[in-house]
């Protein structure tokens, strides 16, 4: 698990996450500012994991996930939603859409990589 595609429309959050993922977490990261950009970049970057904002203009996170599942290269790539919308019913909805987990916003930049590793490990058979 090394390559992370991060999709977030807010440039400040994107910058903080980039530092957290690259400098603290040691991930190779490609940033996208929209769902449409994610659809274009994901097949080229071939991520091991996609971090996906829920609330975005034009194409929200759930729609982006649905469209990523329609692309052969990203059909089985694990997705974690990052959102401030973390009511239990909302989290259940995200998981039902196929996400492996949800990271609440605001996130802690110092523990973001650990949160990702924990979610991935909890969803990896035999881990």
- Dump pLDDT digits (tens) for 66-122: 999 999 999 999 999 999 888 899 999 999 999 999 999 999 999 999 999 999 999
Q: How many CA atoms lie within 13 A of 106 on its CB side?
A: 6
pTM for the model: 0.95
> What pLDDT sits at residue 127?
54
pLDDT (tens digit, 9 = 90+) per residue, 72-85?
A: 999 999 999 999 88
How far apart CA 30 and CA 38 sit, in angstroms, is: 9
Paired sense of beta strands 79-83 and 3-7, if any: unpaired
**DSSP labels, 10-50:** -HHHHHHHHHIIIIIT--EEEEESSHHHHHHHHHHH--SEE
Tell me the domain boundaries of the chain: 3-119
Q: May I ask the CATH architecture of the domain 3-119?
A: 3-Layer(aba) Sandwich (3.40)
């Amino acid at each position: 698990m090394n390559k992370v595609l991060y999709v977030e429309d807010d440039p400040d959050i994107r910058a903080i996450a980039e530092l957290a993922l690259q400098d603290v977490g040691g991930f190779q990261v490609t940033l996208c500012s929209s769902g449409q950009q994610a659809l274009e970049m994901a097949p080229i970057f071939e991520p091991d994991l996609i971090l996906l904002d829920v609330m975005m203009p034009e194409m929200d996170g759930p729609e982006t996930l649905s469209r990523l599942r329609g692309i052969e290269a990203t059909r089985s790539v694990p997705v974690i939603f990052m959102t401030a919308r973390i009511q239990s019913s909302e989290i259940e909805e995200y998981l039902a859409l196929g996400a492996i987990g949800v990271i609440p916003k605001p996130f802690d930049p110092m523990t973001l990589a650990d949160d990702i590793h924990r979610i991935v490990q909890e969803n990896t058979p035999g881990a």
